[in-house]
Amino acid sequence: MSEPLDLLAIPELNRFKVKFQGIQEIYNLACPMSPIDFMQNRIASLLANSVAVINALEMARQYQAKFMHFSSSVVYGTREVHGGNKVAETDLGIVDQISERACYDEGKRFAETIVNTYRDYYGLDAKMVRLFRIYGPRMPINQGHMIPDFVVNALDNKDLVINGDENFTSSLCYVSDAIDGVLKLMQSELAGPVNIGSEINVKLTEVAEKIIQKTRSSSKIIHGDRLLFMTELNLPDTTLAREQLSWMPIVNLDHGLDKTIADLRSSKTIKELPTNW
C-alpha cells in the first residue's frame, strides 16, 4: 500500500467484478507488527502510517467506499502519562515524537489526523478504532509477541520469557471480541475513534502460569530485557463502545487461551510433519 493500488489492473481480481460492483468497505490494518524486528521496520512503519493510509483513503474516494482505519492505544502515550488510569477517547496523549518508537507511536497519531482530515474535507464515511492488546489464533510465532511465543515454548517445554519484570501487566482482548466491536462500529453512525479492548489488567506472569498449566508443560518462567516495542500499554475505558455500540468483550482469558493453544498446537503439528508424505 505504499504505492497506489489499481485494482482493475490485477487480473486475479476480475472474478470479483470490481469494475462493475466497485468496493463497498475498506479495512485498513496495514502496518509492520513484529516487536523483534521493530528497528529494521522503522521506515516501513513510517510509510504504512502515512503514504499507505493516503493511498487507502484515495481508493475509498474512488469507489465511495466506507472506510475503517485501525489505530492503536499507543496514541495515548505511556501509562505514566495518565497515572495508570483507564483512558477514554477524549483523553489526549503525550508521545515523544523523536524517540526510537516514534515511527510507530507518532505515526499512529499522524494516521488518525490523515483519516480525520479526509473525512472532513471530502465527506468520506471514514471511521477509526483504537485497538488495545489483542490475542488469539493465527498470531505469528518467534516475532516477540508474548502470547504465541509462550504457547509454543510451553509445548516444547522451553522457558517462557517475559520481556519485563514480574510486575509487567497488560490487558488482553480475544480476537473475536475485537472483530465484533469493529463490525458494530462499521455498521453504526458513529465515526470514532472508539476504544476496543479489555478493561481487565492481568500480570503476564499469571498468563504464563496458566499456559504452562493448560499445556501440562515443565517450562519455567524467566524475565528478560524489555523490547522497545513491547511496553505496558494503557487500559481502555470502553464506555463509549458499551453505550453506543452495545459492545463488550465476552470471551474470558481462560477460554481465549484454550482456543489459542489449540490453534497453535495444530499449526505446530502440521509444520513438523514430514515433507515427503
Instruction: Give me the active site residues, please.
Output: 104
3-state DSSP assignment of residue 96: coil
Cis peptide before 193 (omega within 30 of 0): yes
Q: Are 215 and 264 in contact (CB under 8 A)?
A: no
Q: Are 162 and 208 in contact (CB under 8 A)?
A: yes
* d(C-alpha 28, C-alpha 66), whole Å: 11
* d(C-alpha 229, C-alpha 145), whole Å: 10
Pairing of strands 126-131, 134-135: unpaired
Residues with Cβ within 8 Å of 79's Cβ and at least 6 positions away in sequence, in order, are 232, 233, 234
CB 190: neighbour CB atoms within 10 A?
15
What CA–CA distances, in Å, run from 193 to 40, 98, 182, 187?
A: 29, 24, 11, 14
* Set of cell numbers at residue 160: 517462557
